[in-house]
Amino acid sequence: NIPSDKIEILAKIFKVSPIYLMGWDETNEESPPKKKGIKIPVLGRVAAGVPIEMIEDVLDYEEITEDMARHDKYFALKIQGDSMTPRIWNNDVVIVRQQDDAENGDIVIATVNGDDAVCKRLQKYNDGIALISLNPQYEPIYFKKDEVDEKPVRIIGKVVELRGKF
């Protein structure tokens, strides 16, 4: 039962807030711990259109939850182009979970010829795959099973989150 004017004086002496002095701040034991984010690199630009060489320069960092980071590996890519509009726009950033396969309809990052990367919707067929743009102005890119192995065409991750930029 310390009078509030005395709490203020003590807080000034110790150079802390009255809330901290009274133990009411977020660090007290009764408060839930603050969740911390994990920074992941935005590794470069990836084409949303015709395949372009994937650049692996770190352009920026994005934050994901500790829970996401604990269960899988993630990276971020900056989108270049308009083939995934109206959902994904030029300069948007996508959060990608590293994985080498995906389900029909998933939006994936795939490499073609080892170096070129694209962001597309995946469609699997008995005789191959298609990488499909959301923008109807772009034709799907089809690969037969032998082309998938020869070129090669590889899924490097699944897009799990979109970070729109203005």
Is 144 labeled as catalytic in the residue annotation?
no
Of 116, 133, 123, the C-alpha closest to 82 is 133
Burial profile 18-40: b = 16 or more Cβ within 10 angstroms, e = fewer: beebeeeeeeeeeeeeeeeeeeb
Catalytic residue among 4, 35, 39, 83: 83
Catalytic residue among 120, 133, 151, 165: 120
Is 83 labeled as catalytic in the residue annotation?
yes
CA distance 163 to 39: 14
Instruction: Supply the residues annotated as catalytic.
Output: 83, 120
